Amino acid sequence: MRFLKLASAWALLSLILAACAQAPPTAQEIMERMRAAREQIGSGHAIIDLVLDTPEHNGSYTLEAWGAKRDRTDAAGQPIGQARIRIVRASQAELTGAELVNDGTTFWLYHPAANRVFTGALGELRQGRIGAADPTAQMLRMQQALQHILDGSNVTLEGESVAVAGRDTWQVLLTPKPETAADLGLGSQLRVQLWIDKATNLPVKGVIDGGALGHLEATATTFEIDAPLPPEVFSFTPPAGAEVIDLAEVARNARPQVVTLDEARAQVDFPLLTPAQLPAGVQLEQVQVLKLRGQTVIQNFNGPILFSLVQGRGELPSEQQAPAGAEVRQVQVRGVLGTMIIGNETERGTLLRWRENGVTLVVAGTLSPDEALAIAESLRAAE
């Protein structure tokens, strides 16, 4: 009898232990395993199918990606990474063959359709010294935002055994905590789903659903971990005849340079006009030259009335739409038809824009419509 009781107890204990052994990990444990696996990877290679649907862009893409950690760390003590991403197929044909290469110090972004290469120092890109609209900068910010979401979200296990590209995965849902959503300006509509491969503890699929902000889905159809990658994978030589653009230089040109009026005249290929008549107490305070997207000169005036005179070829920074509630008129100015925008109760002032002799001119500030027209009519070139 004692033997039977002992055997029964042992069997019961075995069943309990077996049940515990088979219990799936919690969602938080899965995320911890993923973080540990990511830290241990030395290199990787993957083919990724990507679907993007946002108000600005939509399409489907197949990417081939390589990544590796160098044996050095950055100033923050983080491993310096290298990467290469090539668009193998794109619904927009002109993007096929585009590449982003990062050797840990320098990056290159190649657009084959335009035969154009953007390049710059990776450190300057991360520190915001290179144009914020550059696609590479946007990609880095996206990576930083995704890491912020991974670190600041509540995690829920949605599926214990989901097949993705022939792999058995855990499916987890990440819901950003209120403070994370506030930091990223995402509101409460963001949902991030990850499918974590059980064999490697690495994500093989991800879906980001931002509601009105858009939808992104990425699936790694194949990937290799710690496969040897030759150094030339992370080097790039611009193709023959390609236009090479230094984004640090672009960023410098995007920042207005303070100059004298005579220096400004010497830097543009059109006659620079200045007001022959100014309201009482108003005087020229500063002259700036902007070389991005053409040649632009900005004259800033100070006094009882504040306004700027902008003139240049190419797209001017003041060519924005009228604010809600503003009045828009078509007016005659200097013998041509111009546009006048008169501000509303919260955005007072006047903007007058017209074009003559291939140059766009803008007078804008805390002016009345009559004052703006009077200043425009008084403009003269230096004798």
**Residue 112: what are its φ and ψ, rounded to 5°?**
-65, -35
Nearest C-alpha neighbor of 62 from the set 97, 96, 101, 89: 89
Whether 335 shows a pLDDT value over 90: the answer reads: yes
Q: Dump pLDDT digits (tens) for 286-330.
A: 999 887 656 889 999 999 999 999 998 865 544 455 566 678 899
Q: How far is CA 330 from CA 105, 326, 341, 359, 365, in A?
A: 52, 13, 9, 18, 18
Q: Dump pLDDT digits (tens) for 338-365.
A: 999 998 766 678 999 999 999 999 999 9
- Which one-letter amino acid corresponds to residue 256? P
- Identify the pLDDT of residue 23: 62
- Identify the pLDDT of residue 290: 82
Q: Please compute the mean of the pLDDT values over residues 149-172 and round it to a whole number.
A: 88
Q: Dump pLDDT digits (tens) for 129-141.
A: 444 444 444 445 5
Report the share of the chain in percent with pLDDT over 70: 77
Q: Dump pLDDT digits (tens) for 67-94.
A: 998 776 666 666 678 899 999 999 988 8
- Identify the pLDDT of residue 15: 40
Model-level pTM? 0.61
- Identify the pLDDT of residue 144: 62
Helix (H, G, I), strand (E, B) or coil at 278: coil
Q: How confident is the model at residue 215 (pLDDT cuts 50, 70, 90)?
A: confident
- Identify the pLDDT of residue 372: 94
